Structure 1
């Protein structure tokens, strides 16, 4: 949950740990790779269960989603409401 993420981040800050959030885990951008130069403890924060669309602003065509939503689920939910992301990367089913 959002509250859980806040608690984990606060603990990381308190103890000087690095925090790497993980959503789909495709690592196309190598975002989940631990930096080789990092000396701090590293906490991997799994956000895959945070996968909801929180709101859609129909006037400005903006949606706010939780960080764990994957492309296919997002697209399916948007299409039910008459919208689309218009973006299908190679990692679409995971990202």
Structure 2
């Protein structure tokens, strides 16, 4: 398959429309790191540490928990939303 000069210029010569012959390097590090905050993920009640975010459980009866603000709370909210939508998580046996 011939590749035009314009196509090579546009892609910096890197993309030629042919299959890659070298392996793509594996990702370095874990996709999701474990949280370092001791109180993150504790069942709801009184806030264990100031600044923690209470995330409700799903309609399936899952209890609410406390999470550190930011990434952990966002992941917990997403999981609760998935449970409400009927999706199954890995722990539930997807």
What TM-score does the superposition give when structure 2 sets the normalisation length?
0.21
Structure possessing the higher relative contact order (Cα contacts under 8 Å, 6 or more residues apart): 1
Larger Rg: 2
What TM-score does the superposition give when structure 1 sets the normalisation length?
0.21
